[in-house]
Structure 1
Amino acid sequence: MAAQLAEATTDPACRVLGLRERKKRRTRDSLVEAAHRLFLVHGYGRTTVDEIAAAVDVSQRTFFRYFENKEQVALAVMADAEGFFIECLRRRPAEEEPLTAMRAAITESWRSLGSVEHAGPGSVTAALELLELIESTPTLLAAHLRHTAEQERQIAAILAEREGLDPATDLRPRLLAAVFGAVVRLSHLSWTTDAAAHQVGPDGMIATLERHFDQLGPALSGSWRP
């Protein structure tokens, strides 16, 4: 096996493919970063695909090889962050209860994306900046909510698989995924209006998430009266 691996890694065709994929990734990241910067400076509506492509010195045709439209490149940062959360959730220990696993995965993903290894367009800083842009742009908000609904379906499927359930007949995975998504969105909205949380970046977002999750149990089953 080791010999086969060594042979594969020294194969010129494999090296060319690796270089090609890395170049494609750099181009995609550059487009996302340029779009993000232009959206923050000029606004989403006043930024064109041509301007994004020009900022990276590529053609409009090249842009459309990577993204279907301006909306998709705008949401790429959040889509990448959400994809990373799904990976974190899949890796959680099987013995963890569903809500514990999701809570740990969202904290892990925010903390990891806030590390120096995740600088640039996929960073937590970019994701946090994008949250405010999404909430202030109706077309982006609608697209983001559609994407969130798809993520909820993925989460429900993961939870059902972890617990050995059939999501078609057992409502718990879908219900918990929907509740989880609502808590995360409320946390995001709270963060966007909390100046103190802004100042500490990822830690502020994590603290906001934890505060909201701490109240989930009492809100669902506790008495609200003094």
Structure 2
Amino acid sequence: METLRERKKRRTRESLLRAALELFTTQGYERTTVDEIAAACEVSQRTFFRYFAGKEDAAFAVQEMTEALFLSALRARPPHEAPMEALRQAVLQDWESIRETVESAVPMELYLRMYRTIESTPALLAAHLRRSTAVEETLARLLAEREGVDVDTDPRPRLAVAVFGGVIRVTERQWCLGRDFSLEAVRSLTASYLDQVSSALQGNWRTN
């Protein structure tokens, strides 16, 4: 049972997170200050730093939640599934859980807007790619453990994750360039691109 103190802390953090993402997506990440985020919630800068290490930490807070959900989903996949299929099912199977996880922190519409802001902001995109590298290493080690191989001597876990990560990056970019910014559109595009991995890598691209 959540105590009154814990509930108050959670609400303060959620309020700061919403304010940060709203400011990042409306006036720009670089132009937003910690003071402005704190002021929007009528708290001190010191209070902001109790919950977030800085602006970047706030910018990726919800994404961290969805990444943790994905890692948990991958760990739960049946052991008989091939690695690429396990990755595919982990990201696509329980889409409603992603929605619930996001909406437990911020409105889905704000999260999706922030996604596009990350793609269009050089500092955030660089941070996103850096963070993605760390997540991919975690995934590679998880796959190696799952398949009973040594990640440091067997290249397959990192190769599989590199292919998977590449597909996700293509999906993110194409979705940000499109007109449908819904969560369903992201899922549909992700499924479509993952389905083409095998033919793209092994098939003949020529039509004549």
Structure 1 residues 175 and 48: CA distance shift in structure 2, 3 A? same
> What is the number of equivalent residue pairs in this alignment?
207
Greater relative contact order (CA < 8 Å, ≥ 6 in sequence)? 2
Partner of 2:110: 126
Structure 1 residues 97 and 119: CA distance shift in structure 2, 3 A? same
Which of the residues 150, 172, 180 maps onto 2:134?
Answer: 150
Structure 1 or 2, whichever has the larger Rg, is 1
Alignment partners' CA distance in 1, 2:29 and 2:190: 27
Structure 1's unaligned 5+ residue stretches are: 1-14
Partner of 2:176: 192
Quote how far apart the aligned CAs of 1:45 are. 1.4
Quote how far apart the aligned CAs of 1:58 are. 1.6
Quote how far apart the aligned CAs of 1:120 are. 5.2
Alignment of 1:203-222 (within 5 A): 203-222=184-203
**RMSD value over aligned CA atoms?**
1.9
SS of structure 1 residue aligned to 2:78? coil
Alignment partners' CA distance in 2, 1:24 and 1:174: 39
Quote how far apart the aligned CAs of 1:194 are. 1.6
Partner of 1:49: 34
Quote how far apart the aligned CAs of 1:30 are. 1.6
Alignment partners' CA distance in 2, 1:105 and 1:73: 25
Alignment of 1:161-200 (within 5 A): 161-195=145-179, 197-198=180-181
TM-score by length of 1: 0.84
SS of structure 2 residue aligned to 1:95? coil
Alignment of 1:1-226 (within 5 A): 18-108=3-93, 110-115=95-100, 118-119=102-103, 121-122=105-106, 124-195=108-179, 197-198=180-181, 201-226=182-207
Alignment partners' CA distance in 1, 2:115 and 2:80: 33
Identity, % of aligned pairs?
47
